[in-house]
């Protein structure tokens, strides 16, 4: 039995009663200089309002959300991962081979027992709803088991404490700097800082190349994630905000800070976006996840079919993962910029 299980005499059933996830803005200590040894361990960093100490680089990591998984795979850490979970889309093509070597514990949230069966020495997640109350387990519970955890600062920074993964309000716009910080944090935790810096530089180059010379000032965008009847539309300040700002366009729901407000088609028609950004989700948990169902609805519904974007066939197709705060945000920028250039709406 793994050491962390031997260290606790508390049963899983009892531990599941532990509640109360600590959230808040994330402030990280500057990592030590890169080096070939683990002399800078134990490593302590501030993460979403709590102090996390890593005694040594993890060897048996579990990532509970696709966004976190894709960062670890991008850092070349597949051989130190023993499980992934909670997928909405196919993994990025360049990561597919490595991803196949890592067990998928569940397409959605796995049970705590399934996670513990992998004997993890580190658990990461993109959303507090996965690593927190109502999710796989609360971070306090993992602490009691001796397993350090890391929650993406994209779900903490600029959000009220009661809004973490609750589609609540952002108090500050998300920026790529927060995503870069998550990459650097995880690179420091796994002692691959140089890989982290190289990956951040790669993302910056892709961002700059996609956004270079584009200024779609007269173009308005509506970002539709899922649900046919009362669609989830992206607000001002999450990944959609980064995408919109990067191409110089505007978001028709820029006046709301709620992360994913559900609105009526009458409201969308009143704001009448120039183009619709449609999330094509491989999951099938909500009506309207699939691209085909979205387009069929748009072109047959008496209200939605009146939209300028629908009448002109201006659909920008992206993966659902591209609208989550993650490295895939850059994918969303590239796809949006390419469509605007094709339509000669790039300024």
Pairing of strands 122-125, 104-106: unpaired
CA distance 232 to 257: 13
Instruction: Enter the pTM of the model.
Output: 0.86
The answer to whether residue 9 scores a pLDDT higher than 50 is no
* The pLDDT value given to residue 257: 82
- Domain at 215-342, CATH class: alpha beta
The lowest-confidence range among 27-36, 137-146, 254-263, 268-277 is 27-36
Asked whether residue 175 carries a pLDDT value surpassing 90, the answer given is yes
Nearest partner of 65 among 28, 105, 34, judged by Cα:
105
Alpha carbons 295 and 278: distance in angstroms, whole number: 9
C-alpha closest to that of 318 among 179, 224, 244, 241: 224
Q: What is the DSSP string of 127-190?
A: -TTTSSTTSS--HHHHHHTT--EEE-GGGTTTB-TT-TTTT-BBSS---HHHHHHHHHHHHHHT
Give tens-digit pLDDT for 10-38: 333 334 333 333 333 333 344 433 444 56
Residue range(s) in the chain whose domain bears CATH number 3.40.50.1980 = 41-205, 215-342
Do residues 310 and 298 make contact, with C-beta atoms less than 8 angstroms apart?
Answer: yes
Asked if the bond preceding 42 is cis, omega within 30° of 0, the reply is yes
| 130-150 mean pLDDT | 95
pLDDT average, residue stretch 159-178: 72
The DSSP code for 93 is: G
Percent of the chain at pLDDT > 70 equals 86
Lowest mean pLDDT of 69-83, 209-223, 239-253, 284-298, name the range.
284-298
Span of 158-167, 220-229, 232-241 with lowest mean pLDDT:
158-167
- How many residues are recorded in the chain? 347
Rg (CA), the chain: 21
**Most distant CA pair in the chain: distance in Å?**
65
Q: What is the 3-state secondary structure (H, E, C) of 175-217?
A: CHHHHHHHHHHHHHHCCCHHHHHHHHHHHHHHHHHHHCCCCCC
Which tokens go with 130?
């996965």
What CATH number matches the domain at 41-205, 3.40.50.1980, 3.40.50.150, 3.40.50.300, 3.40.1030.10? Answer: 3.40.50.1980
Question: Average pLDDT of 97-109?
Answer: 97
Question: Which tens digits make up the pLDDT trace of 40-51?
Answer: 899 999 999 999
Residue whose C-alpha is closest to residue 203's, from 253, 170, 242, 240: 242
Average pLDDT over the chain, rounded to whole?
87
In the predicted structure, residue 196 carries a pLDDT above the cut 60: yes
Q: What is the per-residue pLDDT for 168?
A: 62
Q: Which of 252, 256, 266 is nearest to 223 (CA)?
A: 252
pLDDT digits (tens, 9 = 90+) for 317-346: 999 999 999 999 999 999 999 999 999 987
pLDDT digits (tens, 9 = 90+) for 104-136: 999 999 999 999 999 999 999 999 999 998 999
């Amino acid at each position: 039995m793994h050491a962390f299980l031997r260290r606790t005499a508390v049963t899983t059933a009892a531990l599941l009663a532990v509640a109360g996830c600590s959230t808040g803005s994330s402030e990280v200590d500057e990592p030590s200089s890169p080096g070939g040894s683990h002399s800078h361990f134990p490593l302590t960093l501030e993460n979403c309002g709590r102090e996390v100490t890593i005694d040594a680089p993890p060897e048996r990591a579990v990532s509970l959300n696709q966004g976190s998984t894709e960062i670890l795979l991008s850092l070349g850490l597949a051989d130190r991962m023993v499980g992934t979970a909670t997928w909405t889309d196919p993994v990025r093509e360049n990561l597919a081979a490595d991803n196949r070597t890592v067990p998928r514990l569940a397409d959605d949230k796995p049970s705590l027992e399934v996670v513990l069966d992998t004997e993890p020495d580190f658990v990461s997640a993109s959303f507090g709803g996965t690593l927190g109350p109502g999710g796989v387990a609360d971070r306090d519970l993992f602490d009691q088991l001796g397993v350090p955890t890391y929650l993406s600062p994209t779900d903490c920074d600029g959000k009220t404490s009661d809004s973490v993964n609750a589609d609540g309000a952002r108090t500050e716009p998300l920026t790529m700097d927060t995503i870069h910080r998550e990459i650097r944090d995880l690179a420091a935790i796994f002692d691959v800082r140089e890989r982290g810096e190289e990956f951040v530089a790669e993302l910056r180059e892709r961002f700059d190349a996609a956004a270079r010379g584009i200024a779609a000032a007269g173009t308005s965008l509506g970002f539709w994630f899922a649900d046919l009847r009362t669609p989830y539309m992206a607000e001002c300040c999450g990944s959609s905000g980064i995408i919109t700002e990067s191409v110089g366009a505007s978001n028709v729901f820029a006046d709301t800070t709620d992360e994913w407000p559900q609105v009526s088609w009458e409201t969308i028609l009143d704001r009448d976006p120039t183009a619709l950004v449609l999330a094509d989700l491989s999951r099938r948990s909500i009506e309207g996840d699939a691209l085909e169902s979205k387009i069929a609805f748009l072109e047959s519904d008496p209200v939605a079919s009146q939209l300028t974007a629908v009448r002109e066939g201006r659909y920008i197709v992206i993966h659902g993962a591209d609208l989550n705060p993650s490295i895939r945000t850059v994918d969303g920028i590239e796809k949006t910029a390419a469509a605007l250039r094709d339509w000669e709406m790039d300024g």
